[in-house]
Amino acid sequence: MNNLRPVGVIGTGKYVPEKILTNSDLEKMVDTNDEWIVSRTGIKERHIAAPDQATSDLAYEAALKALESAGMTGSDLDLIIVATITPDSAFPSTACILQDKLGAKGAAAFDLSAACSGFVYGLATATSFIQSGMYNNALVIGADCLSRITDYTDRNTCVLFGDGAGAVIVGEVPEGRGFKAFDLGAEGAGGSLLQIEGGGSRLPASAETVENKKHYIYMNGREVFKFAVRVMGTATIEVLRKAGMDRSDVDLFVPHQANVRIIQSAMQRLELPEEKVVVNVHKYANTSAASIPLALVEAAEEGRMKAGDTVLMVGFGGGLTWGASVLVW
């Protein structure tokens, strides 16, 4: 990527809904307890969208802040990508809804489905478009309302998920800065380990699919855990290799926030000290595509990176998919 136009992050914003669901709230809903949830996952609470909020509403709030921080308005955008597995509806895309609300007249807009890896996939897509000269300023958002696809009678999954949105503006940056490498991948053979079976063309919504809870997330937690630990390590090493860097070059590691044990195992494998790792899973739980941008934007707001720092983002999720990037801030 070295001879191409330098492209990086020029604005950031995030949003989480007001309502907080704590572990003790969940203790009243299913047979679980705070000690189990914290020791197995690191999660203490999660934010839940209000009944009248959909994914585009969360995305809109994050987008406004990102535009403001870039000193832009919607009319400056020529591309909008929303990474989500919980679009407002099958179509129009959540990105098109946002395009209208933001006044980004004429901008290209589409959703991207790569589950928790979606934001990094979105960054890679926007970067390629801008490097090619096709577009100049892209809004890339990871946004999900996982509460809408979570079965709150299933203790195996309902403790794990939350709602939120994180947004960045991707555009040209000074020479030497910006994205240095991406590593995207998938293992489609593992798709059934983490899925929603109902509501698509294979198993359209019916009274029976509702009865059988086919519109909720199904997850084989143990197998996904093993996949996650493996690819967090391999994708990180691969993206550093592509960037011509070493793990000692990493100033800030921004992993997907699914489970603190998965993050800790990556930290150990990569020998990264705690102060170089962003962890906020205790506050937001797993917000799927929103997880990495929420962590990135929060780290930026807390002043954890300065110009020229090397930021490594890595995520994994349904598909199965993974995505990693090296960004010089």
84 in contact with ligand ACO (CB under 6 A): no
Only one residue has tokens 């802040």, namely 65
Residues 182, 134: Cα–Cα separation, whole Å: 19
116 binds ligand ACO (CB under 6 A): yes
Q: Does 152 bind ligand ACO (CB under 6 A)?
A: no
215 binds ligand ACO (CB under 6 A): no
222 is a contact residue toward ligand ACO (CB under 6 A): yes
Q: Is 286 a catalytic residue?
A: yes
256 catalytic? Reply is yes
Q: In a 10 Å sphere around its CB, with 0-12 CB exposed, 13-18 middle and 19+ buried, how is residue 187 labelled?
A: middle
Q: Alpha helix locations (H) across the chain?
A: 23-27, 34-41, 55-70, 94-102, 118-131, 155-158, 207-211, 221-243, 260-270, 281-284, 291-301
Residue in 23, 137, 259, 286 annotated catalytic: 286
Stretch that binds ligand ACO, among 56-64, 216-224, 229-237, 270-278 (CB under 6 A): 216-224
Point out the catalytic residue in the list 23, 47, 96, 116: 116
Q: Which stretch binds ligand ACO (CB under 6 A): 34-42, 133-141, 267-275, 294-302?
A: 34-42
> Per the omega criterion (within 30 degrees of 0), is the bond before 320 cis?
yes
CB 279 to ligand ACO: min, Å: 14
Q: Does residue number 32 form part of the binding site for ligand ACO (CB under 6 A)?
A: yes
Task: State which residue has the least CB distance to ligand ACO.
Answer: 221
| Residue 113 binding ligand ACO, by CB under 6 A | no
* Of 190, 157, 142, 153, nearest in space to 287 by CA: 142
**What x/- string results for residues 234 through 273 when contact with ligand ACO is judged by CB under 6 A?**
------------------------xx--------------
User: What's the closest the beta carbon of residue 240 comes to ligand ACO, in angstroms?
Assistant: 22
The pairing of strands 310-317 and 163-172 is unpaired
Distance from chain centroid for Cα 219: 18
Tell me the chain's radius of gyration from C-alpha atoms.
19
Which residues are CB-contacts of 36 (< 8 A; sequence separation ≥ 6)? Answer: none
Choose one: 9-17, 46-54, 153-161, 176-184; the region binding ligand ACO (CB under 6 A). 153-161
* 116 is annotated as an active-site residue: yes
Catalytic residues: 116, 256, 286
